[in-house]
Amino acid sequence: MTRHAQQTQTFGERLTATIAARGPLCVGIDPHAPLLEKWGLPDSPDGLARFTDTVVDALAGSVAVLKPQLAFYERHGSKGLAVLEDGVARARAAGALVLLDAKRGDIGSTMAAYADYLRPEHPLAVDAMTVSPYLGAGSLEPAVATAREHGGGLFVLARTSNPDAGSLQLVGTPSVAQRVVDTVRGWNAETPGGSFGLVVGATLDELDVDLAGLGGPVLAPGLGAQGGSAGDVRRLFGTGTVVLPSVSRDVLSAGPDVAGLRAAAHRWAESLTA
């Protein structure tokens, strides 16, 4: 796919096809300073580039989704974003879908500008991005419109598993988290294709939102270093929902050896399909 090519499929359709071909694993690309140091790399744009190139070369040809964390590139300024731009383009060219972990959330023209990452002509065009709904569901409408127009996807923060998340997400009846789920379910009902998903942590003690009829995928972060397992994914989500389990440190810690990165990702992929 060329960088400016218009999508002929929805993100949901591309995700389903990619998971069928490669399995359901998402690997986060999180080049924080301690990890760069562990790899023997400087905390600089050059170290960032060497890290990103290695991860993309190792995994983009086999993993379904790569999920770069935007903050770790922004902290290096314009040179960091240039590294990300190159890495995203090369990952997509190798067949991986790219989910930009940006967690953006705002209103009006600002939200529309954030959503430009989903436009194929954007210099850092990605397949999907994470967004935050806590300015209200209507705040995300510009991103929803851009995703619909260009075949992009959104993953909306709904029920995360950080320790104090429930203090906000479980307030009310139905809970705030359930209202987010219901909103995203409505988007998918209006535009079939499964392009609108949720972020639901894989380390929850129990699934306290109703995902029935969601019509889109669930990004389930928290595997590995955060304590989540393939068994937790099966326990929480069962069957009938497209789940994209996400792991970062447990794979990235196997670098900078390319074979080690591939082996770590393969072990996780196998455990999720066992």
**pLDDT category, 5, cuts 50, 70, 90?**
low
For residue 172, is it within any domain?
yes
Domain containing 198: what range? 11-273
103 is known as an active-site residue: yes
Residues forming beta bridges with residue 69, ordered by sequence position = 101
- Sign of the Cα pseudo-torsion (37, 43, 46, 51, in order): positive
Q: How confident is the model at residue 1 (pLDDT cuts 50, 70, 90)?
A: very low
6 belongs to a structural domain = no
The answer to whether position 3 is within a domain reads no
4 in a structural domain: no
Q: DSSP per residue over 191-253, as a string?
A: S-SS-EEEEE-TT-SS--S--TT--S-EEEEEEGGGSB-HHHHHHHH-SSS-EEEEE-HHHHT
Sorting pLDDT into bands at 50, 70 and 90, what band is 239? Answer: confident
Residue 5 lies in a domain: no
Q: Write down the pLDDT at residue 137.
A: 87
Cis peptide before 256 (omega within 30 of 0): yes
Count: domains in the chain? 1
Within-domain flag for 181: yes
What residues contact residue 163 under an 8 Å CB cut-off, 6+ apart?
A: none
Count of helices and strands (H, E) across the chain: 12, 8
pLDDT band at 225 (very low <50, low <70, confident <90, very high): confident
- pLDDT per position as a tens digit, 181-222: 999 999 999 998 999 999 999 999 999 999 999 999 999 999
Q: Is the pLDDT of residue 6 over 90?
A: no
Do the domain assignments include residue 1? no
Kindly report the CATH number assigned to the domain that includes residue 182.
3.20.20.70
Mean pLDDT across 155-182: 96
Residue 69: inside a domain: yes
